[in-house]
Amino acid sequence: MKSSLKGIAVLSVVVLALVVLASGCGQKKSGAAGNSPVKVGVIYSVSGASTSVGVEEKRSADLAAAEINAAGGIGGHPVSLLYENDDSNSEKAVAAAKKLAYNDQVDVIIGPITSSGIAAVKGVTESAKVPELSITGSSPNLTANNPQWYFRNALSSAFQTKKMVKYCMDNLGYKKFAILYDAARATDQYQGFAKDLADAGIKPVAVEKFQTGDTSFNAQLLKIKAAQPDAMLVLGMITESASAAKQARDLGIQSRILGAVALAYDDYIKLAGNASDGTIACTTFLSSNPNPKTQEFVKKYQEKYNELPDHSAAQTYDAMNLIAQAAANGKLSFADTAADRQKIRDELIKVNSYQGVASPITYGPNVRDAYTNPMLVEVKNGKWEIIE
């Protein structure tokens, strides 16, 4: 009898401990009192193919957080940034997201950078019910199937290729297009561009693919050269795309080079050199845009980092300020993380024509793409310039 009572007592203690543990899940330890922060997890890259974007992401997040906190924070609560490096690796991005969502109990996550990384992390954020804003990632599939917690504060290739096809046909008279794409990173973008061409009654004269990390594109480019296209769309990361552009010119290919938003960086011009001249791409932001808000941001960024910001920097800055606005409007409790995450998500859904430093942002109950009308830019005399 004593043995049975002892067993019941032990079981009761265990059950009580589990109840206490469960009741603490999703809550901030510090409660609503004091200086509890709004915790923003940031997944970025400090090595690998996305390093340059990772640098821009961190700089702008730091800049925005410093400004928000200097202005009194969010209802007196500071913004706290928790950084996790994924080395441009999807598996590491997932591990980072799990740590931020479950261990660190962040209110919202920014990042990661690559479309493949974002797609992988979405599984974590949707399950954990934590808002996620990516500041890059152009795969149309990211916003398919109505995600509930994911918001793309970047430009989907679905809107890029459509505008580019129309511009090239209407303004430049192009009818023959070739496509060179990264099979691992840009297959869906290639398919979208091919569909947009098909809708216009055009079939690509050549389609060639490469692998991430490739350094030689001569075999593919020789086939493209034989097809004599008016324009060649290059879909890939900056390093490979710049190499492909240089090798194309070395082979005597004079076709106009087109690119998605992944090319719209100054690093592409630096790496491709003169081969970048005439390249057309889509973007949401250009540092030379005379818009007053844009120029104010450019000035602050340049004074702090001695460099001009690109679209990923601008989109990070806007994402941070959107989060601050959503947290302020949602009146966070700072006592229940799950409830606060829900409040931020519900406020993000209400965003309509938000005027940030990049293009205007709109979300909605079933809208997760911030930008639907990109600007077209062209490399002229070693600089990106707005052409439409």
DSSP string, 82-116: EEEE-TT-HHHHHHHHHIIIIIS--SEEE--SSHH
For the segment 109-138, the average pLDDT, to the nearest whole number, is: 94
Q: How far apart are CA 372 and CA 155, in angstroms?
A: 7
Task: Give, to the nearest 10 degrees, the angle between helix 157-172 and helix 187-199.
Answer: 40
Q: How far is CA 272 from CA 47, 262, 275, in A?
A: 21, 14, 5
pLDDT of residue 34: 62
**Residue 329 buriedness (CB in 10 A; 0-12 / 13-18 / 19+):** middle
Sort 358 into a burial class: Cβ within 10 Å, 0-12 / 13-18 / 19+: buried
DSSP structure class, residue 263: G
- For residue 168, tell me if it sits in a domain: yes
> Is 9 part of a structural domain of the chain?
no
| 341: number of Cβ within 10 Å | 25
Residue 212: inside a domain: yes
Residue 99 within a domain: yes
Q: 270 and 309: one domain?
A: no
Q: Check: CB of residue 113 under 8 Å from CB of residue 92.
A: no
178 phi and psi angles, rounded to 5 deg:
-115, 155
C-alpha–C-alpha distance, residues 156 and 136, integer Å: 9
Phi, psi (rounded to 5 degrees) for 367: -120, 120
- Provide the 3-class DSSP secondary structure of residue 74: strand
Residues 342 and 208 in one domain: no
Across residues 170-198, what is the average pLDDT?
90
For residues 77 and 213, membership in a common domain is answered with no
Measured over the CA atoms of residue 243, residue 277, residue 46 and residue 156, the dihedral's sign is negative
Say how many C-beta atoms besides its own lie within 10 A of residue 225's C-beta.
19
- Give the span between the Cα atoms of 31 and 40, in whole angstroms: 17
Rg (CA), the chain: 23
In angstroms, the CA 278 to CA 257 distance is 7
User: Per-residue pLDDT averaged across 15-33, rounded?
Assistant: 41
Q: What is the CATH number of the domain that holds 269?
A: 3.40.50.2300
Is the domain of 141 the same as that of 204? no
pLDDT at residue 230 in the model: 97
The predicted pLDDT at position 200 comes to 87
If asked whether residues 54 and 144 sit together in one domain, one would say: yes
Q: Are residues 176 and 72 in the same domain?
A: no
pLDDT of residue 151 exceeding 70, the answer is: yes
Considering the domain boundaries, does residue 31 fall inside one? no
Task: Write out pLDDT tens, residues 208-259.
Answer: 999 989 999 999 999 999 999 999 999 988 899 999 999 999 999 999 999 9
Mean pLDDT of the chain: 89
Flag whether pLDDT at 30 surpasses 70: no
How far the first Cα of the chain sits from its last, in Å, is: 85
State whether 237 and 298 are in the same domain: no
| Prior bond of 112 cis (ω within 30°) | yes
Do the domain assignments include residue 125?
Answer: yes
Domain membership of residue 18 (yes or no) is no
Q: Do 70 and 98 share a domain, yes or no? A: yes
Instruction: Look up tokens 């077209």; give the residue.
Output: 376
β 369-371/375-380 pair status: unpaired
User: Given the structure tokens 């129309």, which residue do they identify?
Assistant: 166
**Do 279 and 346 fall within a single domain?**
no
Using 50, 70 and 90 to split pLDDT, how confident is the model at 9? very low
Counting Cα atoms < 13 Å in the Cβ hemisphere of 371 gives 31
152: left (phi over 0), alpha (psi -120 to 50) or beta: beta
**What range does the domain containing 258 cover?**
158-287+376-386
Least confident stretch, 25-29, 41-45, 75-79: 25-29
> So what's the pLDDT on residue 159?
86
Least confident of 11-20, 22-31, 106-115, 185-194: 11-20
Q: What secondary structure does DSSP assign to 345-362, as a single string? A: HHHHTT--SB--SSS-B-
Q: Are 147 and 256 in the same domain?
A: no
User: Which 3 state secondary structure label does DSSP give 327?
Assistant: helix
pLDDT, one tens digit per residue, over 34-61 is 689 999 999 998 887 778 888 999 999 9
Token digits for 371? 């930008």
Please check whether residues 314 and 332 belong to one and the same domain.
Answer: yes
For 142, what's the count of Cα atoms within 13 Å in the CB-facing half-sphere? 38
111 assigned to some structural domain:
yes
Residue 32 or 271, more confident: 271
The pLDDT of residue 31 is 44
Residues 183 and 294 in one domain: no
Domain count, the chain: 2
23/123 Cα distance (integer angstroms)? 24
Q: Which residue from 253, 249, 260 is spatially nearest to 205, judged by alpha carbons? A: 253
